[in-house]
Chain A
């Protein structure tokens, strides 16, 4: 395993150099919060960001993405043919992605990159992206990654893991893509492996000890799905829900989308937009029937999906990675940690 020491003085110029061969994305301060954005020339990622409001999934899965286009203009050679929309899949690097968000990307792969079907837009974007993660040294109060299958120093899904050592970053190069990025940025001061391992180990333990939030998931797999579905606690949990899309849009693992066609003159495009299962429209059939017309049904569905259906189907733990964004941003304080623990502990009353 290769470890590289990056002096923070050298970081800026490294980003500059990397920017010549990669499109860079990173956390940027906006108003009083942070968002993940395409970095302009010379713009540096804010490595001190505690958490971004939206996750970096938008780098691979934008909120609105043009997928097909066509024209009726007969002067064009390919008129009347619906073709894949052009897009830029030149190499990109996501800098400062949190380990839990990188795990989330791997979970999204389970959906978009399967044996039966590969989503070309996701797969092409994923192939072009290098993930340069930043380990979390001071966990947020909303961080419950350790009990959700990830952790402040987790490596799943990352190409490089950076540890912030005050005057420098210690970089653990995990993959070939990571190696290529380090080369492009000119980061080459190798650190002794054993020494670096020890530093990582100590920092990881300290960070994990700083996590104050956790969920209990050990019983979820064993619970009977129908029992959980019919449990009486859903109505009270769902009471405050206003059915906005906040939780689904800030969530790094939510993958649902809606396809829309838009036309103007002789041109037409097909786009896909993030969709939210919280919306009453989500399950509205063409016939007018809506199996999840009630708010309680939709709220129940969301948590059952994240914490039960996914657990049963993929056997990779919960679909929640513990980033805490939904807890922080839900306008009515519906807390997935509370719901998870309630589900995990639920015993149906014996008849």
Chain B
């Protein structure tokens, strides 16, 4: 068992013993080779459920929305930024939380790892030093974690939690990222028709399951615009127009709030790179408003406030 798991269990157990919190939300061991499951520990004995590995890709801040009581929460870098966001947007109170921060060394891309092997992966193990072993029916395959990081982890600028009450490991170095938005620039360089076709192709397998929306901590509207029926803004069928409207409009709702945690991509059963919709807005936020979501509990997000200095050269 790795050190982070040990420390998480220790900290969680203490919190529950002392009664500081009524529950600790973290990741539990999954029932399939590369899975973890968001889980809840309510007693000191329960903490044995909690684990930490490179498959903790979902965003636990999603489970805080409007929750009552005193809550312990395990938070990696991006999760902690979403916790700040939640506090700024009044979806949880800071006083309710005891945050066990986990300095993160990145999560792995399950799809690319699976593509490495010709057969199904029967077992996944990692040594904690950056090496992954995949076991299939006919043998083993080794892989270096840093070659198989999820795309958002490869460009992550905030591996350390930005808010925490305790840490489950020493802070890690924040890496120097050469070109954080190379993927966005690649699309920006396309002609309009190419761009349209790119996004068309991206969502042609979307089944409107809304896993992306539901896994996203930002999506907490009591009635999502796609579910609204009086008036109905978006059709519920598989019409291309409706599918694209859902994705683009959802991305717009995340403008200035998205922390690029990748939970949307992780959740999607059709392996769609849902981040392609929000990445441009993350870039724009940074370049136009010098804003990164979830870093400061005191500041209001740019789309929430007006400043006379806001750029307006696009208005003629």
Contact = CB atoms under 8 A, between A and B. Distances in A.
A and B together in one complex: yes
Interface of A: 30-33, 35, 50, 53-54, 63-64, 138, 140-142, 236, 239-240, 242-246, 249-250, 258, 260, 262, 271, 273, 276, 279, 281, 327-329, 331-335, 337-338
Contact of B58 (A33, A258, A276, A331): A331
Interface stretch (B114-122, B173-181, B246-254, B275-283): B114-122
Contacts of B236: 258, 260, 273
Contacts of B114: 32
A276 B207 CA distance: 12
A244 B32 contact: no
A54 B31 contact: no
A239 B27 CA distance: 12
Contact of A33 (B30, B63, B137, B270): B270
Interface in B244-293: 266-271
Contacts of B58: 331-332
A328 B32 contact: yes
Contacts of A334: 37
A331 B265 CA distance: 10
B82 interface: no
Contacts of A243: 214
A246 B33 CA distance: 19
Interface string B15-40: 00000000000000011110111111
Contact of A337 (B31, B33, B267): B31
The 6 closest A-B pairs by CB, nearest first: A244-B211, A331-B267, A64-B237, A333-B37, A242-B214, A245-B209
B151 interface: no
The binding surface of chain A is classed by DSSP as loop
A31 B214 CA distance: 23
Contacts of A332: 37-38, 58
A242 B62 contact: yes
A50 B207 CA distance: 21
A258 B62 CA distance: 28
Contacts of A337: 31
B91 interface: no
A260 B271 CA distance: 28
A260 B31 CA distance: 38
Contact of B210 (A35, A54, A244, A260): A244
Contacts of B210: 244-245, 279
B209 A335 contact: no
A250 B235 CA distance: 21
B238 interface: yes
16 contacts: A30-B205, A53-B270, A141-B122, A142-B32, A239-B39, A240-B39, A240-B63, A244-B209, A244-B213, A245-B211, A249-B209, A273-B238, A329-B269, A332-B37, A333-B31, A333-B37
B65 to A, nearest CB: 11
Given A243-B214, A244-B215, A31 B239 contact: no
A242 B38 CA distance: 10
A335 B31 contact: yes
B251 to A, nearest CB: 17
B7 interface: no
B80 to A, nearest CB: 20
B209 A246 contact: yes
Contacts of A250: 269
B118 to A, nearest CB: 10
A258 B236 CA distance: 9
Nearest to B60: A240
B32 A327 contact: yes
A74 B266 CA distance: 51
Contact of A244 (B37, B63, B214): B214
B48 to A, nearest CB: 14
Nearest to A325: B269
A205 B30 CA distance: 30
A260 B37 CA distance: 35
B94 interface: no
Contacts of B31: 327, 333, 335, 337-338
A188 B280 CA distance: 58
Contacts of B35: 333
